[in-house]
A and B are shown apart, each in its own frame.
Chain A
Amino acid sequence: MSAAADLDALRHCLEGAVPAAIATVAVDGTPNVTYVSQVHYVDHAHVALSFQFFNKTRATVQVLDPDTAAHYRLSLEYLRTETSGPLFERMKAKLAGIASHTGMAKVFRLRGADIYAVRAIEAVAGAWLPRPPLARSRLPGLRACAAALAAGGDLDSLFDSLLVGLRREFGIQYAMLLMHDGHGQRLYTVASLGYPVSGVGSEIPLGAGVIGVAARERTAIRISHWTADYAYGRALRDNLPADALASLETEIPFPGLEAPGSQLAVPILVADRLLGVLYVESPEDLRFDYEDEDALVTLAHQLALAMRLAAHSTEAGAPMPADATEPPTPARDSLVIRRYGANDSLFIGEDYLIKGVAGAILWKLLNDHQRHGRTEFSNRELRLAPDIRLPDISDNLEARLILLRRRLAERCDGVALEKTGRGRFRLRVDRPLTLLDMDHGGDSGQPVAPAR
């Protein structure tokens, strides 16, 4: 094996399971040899090593196959060092997992990513172990999931199709889809798979943990061992600046596993615009490999295109139907809904429901219903409504409506949103409502029977 292009065949040797030896030549011509904690695959002809102080113009690293123990020697030529950016963040996250796993959490810190061209690969002769049976190819699963996405549909069905496909085709048990907020500083959960509570509506600040870093750097981040450095817990929120924390959704808990052994976050990108992040995790170590990463990155691209297509077709529907005449509602207790204008937060009785843009949308719908008896609405009118203050013309209103619909289904007995067609939906109110705007003394609303 001598062609650098064969590096693709050795990616599984570059997961950091076994430390690699590295030999270099000092300026005076003498050899130097040590171990390097990470040899990172960049592409078929390049690797990156954690920053080294010694003369590194040329290096030979010896990596081991984690299954067969086969040794490979890579002849490298140093190109440059990066200290920030996607590659750096990918290596930093992976190294945090390796460091934690090997008891070196306080020691292994990535100072820089030294990038090398691979000039030659030598397969060392030896009595290696037989290669275990090939792991199931990820390509048929990728094909099935891509076909489901290509079938199209609205955002709701795209999200469900992808999560169901990940479980069926890839055996993935825990997954989340998060959308990028129009303001650009956070991601909000719109769908999830496998958790006791869906966590729909929970938020992650840009740059926080595996998901936040994948979003900020627009690159896949994969960690194969649990590490405190990327954990989603109190520490993460404690480290946020106060202004970032103030606007963050903290009432809805993030649904993720407490101590995932493996995490993979993949940005959902279209034409360099970040739409969101697909996140999968597992209690097992080393659950996701390069092949899984390839498959999920590809699916995220497919999802991005399907989302773009759905957005174009969403608001081109037929004329608005007349507000529906609802069947008589059985007499039930009145539902008290409070609104606090500072952050558009809504409470159902004593229980927090939602805030922010989704809160503003629901408040408008409830008021239109209460004052005018309206039940039928369109995405387009919400987009144009001055009282909602959508953060950005490109904000994904459809995704916010999904979030709102799911949050209502989980948390509010008596009020629901139902899709009625492309870009249209119905507000269903099954109980008398009392709307209290706490910014106006909480006295603006009167108990009102459902519209008839």
Chain B
Amino acid sequence: MPASPPPDPILSETQVAFLESGVSINVASVSGDGNPYPLLARACGCQVSADRRQVAVLLSATQAAALFAGLRASGSVAVVFNLPSTHHSLQLKGRDARVTAPAADDPARAAAYRDAFAADLARIGFSDAYARAVIPPTDASLARVVFTPDSVFDQTPGGNAGQRLTRT
């Protein structure tokens, strides 16, 4: 792990556009009790910083209580982004995850995300009501998890699934 950020951001602009679209987002960490167990929760939106070095994902603290405890203890995070209609998937990993209060515009971001997610699920036959119910509530429990991605993996099903992607 280099001491300073790499000269180029690890994420391309195309990848950023994908992460911020209506993709399905699931966040994982490990329990911090010396007996690591995988923890998992669904997110309701994503924002990548202007310099493409920081990623924030939005979650419901109610749904993600155990995940947040794991993130606070270990800082280790893995996030998978998947567009249901195409199966295109990326996984980001980071080691410096922290749980923070939501930004002022996060409720609006989550609402826009939910619209985009429902639109994609409609393409493969899911009802609008179902797609919206899948997404965590954007209420007082909204929180964000911020991290610096240090690796990106192609998770699209097929021969390349699980391969680390490098910027060229």
Q: Which chain A residues have a beta carbon within 8 Å of chain B's beta carbons?
A: 19, 21-25, 29-35, 37, 53-54, 58-62, 64, 68-69, 71, 73, 75, 102, 104, 107-108, 124-129
Q: Is the CB of A129 within 8 A of B129?
A: yes
Assess A107 versus B158: contact at CB under 8 Å? Given A29-B76, A33-B79.
Answer: yes
B152 interfacial by beta-carbon distance below 8 Å: no
B38 interfacial by beta-carbon distance below 8 Å: yes
Assess A34 versus B133: contact at CB under 8 Å? Given A25-B30, A60-B38.
Answer: no
Q: Is the CB of A58 within 8 A of B38?
A: yes
A127 CA to B63 CA, complexed, in Å: 11
Q: Is the CB of B137 within 8 A of A126?
A: yes
List 5 other contacts, CB 8 Å, given A29-B36, A126-B133: A23-B38, A33-B91, A60-B40, A62-B26, A124-B63
List residues of chain A with CB within 8 A of the CB of B62: 125
Q: Is the CB of A60 within 8 A of B39?
A: yes
B161 interfacial by beta-carbon distance below 8 Å: yes
Q: Is the CB of B157 within 8 A of A32?
A: no
Residues of chain B in range 67-96 having any CB-CB distance to chain A below 8 Å: 74, 76-80, 82, 84, 87, 89, 91, 93, 95
B21 interfacial by beta-carbon distance below 8 Å: no
Q: Which residue of A lies closest to B37 (CB)?
A: A58
Assess A25 versus B36: contact at CB under 8 Å? Given A34-B161, A54-B162, A107-B157.
Answer: yes
B136 interfacial by beta-carbon distance below 8 Å: yes
CB distance from B42 to the nearest CB of A (A): 7
Contact partner, B91, options A34, A64, A108, A129, Cβ 8 Å: A34
Q: Which residue of A lies closest to B77 (CB)?
A: A31
Assess A69 versus B133: contact at CB under 8 Å? Given A23-B40, A60-B39, A125-B62.
Answer: yes
List residues of chain B with CB within 8 A of the CB of A53: 162
A58 CA to B39 CA, complexed, in Å: 10
B134 interfacial by beta-carbon distance below 8 Å: yes
Q: Is the CB of A33 within 8 A of B26?
A: yes
Assess A23 versus B137: contact at CB under 8 Å? Given A34-B89, A35-B82, A69-B130.
Answer: no
Contact partner, A33, options B36, B40, B60, B124, Cβ 8 Å: B40
Q: Which residue of A lies closest to B133 (CB)?
A: A69
List residues of chain B with CB within 8 A of the CB of A68: 133
Assess A31 versus B76: contact at CB under 8 Å? Given A58-B38, A62-B42, A126-B63.
Answer: yes
Q: Is the CB of A69 within 8 A of B134?
A: yes
Q: Which residue of B lies closest to A103 (CB)?
A: B87
Assess A37 versus B78: contact at CB under 8 Å? Given A24-B38, A58-B38.
Answer: no
Q: Which residue of B lies closest to A56 (CB)?
A: B38
List residues of chain A with CB within 8 A of the CB of B41: 62, 124
A317 CA to B157 CA, complexed, in Å: 63
Q: Which residue of A lies closest to B80 (CB)?
A: A33
Assess A104 versus B157: contact at CB under 8 Å? Given A33-B26, A124-B63.
Answer: yes
A413 CA to B161 CA, complexed, in Å: 63
Contact partner, A29, options B30, B93, B133, B134, Cβ 8 Å: B30
Contact partner, B42, options A21, A37, A104, A125, Cβ 8 Å: A21
Assess A33 versus B78: contact at CB under 8 Å? Given A21-B40, A59-B38, A60-B40.
Answer: yes
| 30 interchain pairs, CB-CB under 8 A | A23-B78, A24-B38, A25-B36, A29-B30, A29-B36, A29-B74, A30-B93, A31-B28, A31-B29, A31-B39, A31-B77, A31-B78, A31-B93, A32-B38, A33-B27, A33-B79, A33-B80, A34-B91, A34-B155, A35-B80, A35-B157, A60-B37, A60-B40, A61-B40, A62-B40, A64-B134, A107-B157, A108-B157, A126-B63, A129-B133
Contact partner, A126, options B77, B130, B136, Cβ 8 Å: B136
B29-51 contact mask (Cβ, 8 Å, vs A): 1 or 0: 11000001111111000000000
Q: Is the CB of B137 within 8 A of A32?
A: no
List residues of chain A with CB within 8 A of the CB of B124: 102
Residues of chain B in range 82-125 having any CB-CB distance to chain A below 8 Å: 82, 84, 87, 89, 91, 93, 95, 124
B131-144 contact mask (Cβ, 8 Å, vs A): 1 or 0: 00110110000000
Q: Is the CB of B26 within 8 A of A21?
A: yes
Most buried by B among A22, A34, A60, A125: A34
Q: Is the CB of B155 within 8 A of A35?
A: yes
Q: Which residue of B lies closest to A36 (CB)?
A: B157
CB distance from B143 to the nearest CB of A (A): 15
Q: Is the CB of A33 within 8 A of B28?
A: yes
List residues of chain B with CB within 8 A of the CB of A35: 80, 82, 89, 155, 157
Q: Is the CB of A75 within 8 A of B28?
A: no
Assess A127 versus B133: contact at CB under 8 Å? Given A33-B80, A73-B40.
Answer: yes
The list of the 3 closest CB pairs from A to B, nearest first, reads A23-B28, A23-B38, A69-B133
CB distance from A389 to the nearest CB of B (A): 52
Contact partner, A71, options B28, B39, B42, B84, Cβ 8 Å: B42
CB distance from B13 to the nearest CB of A (A): 24
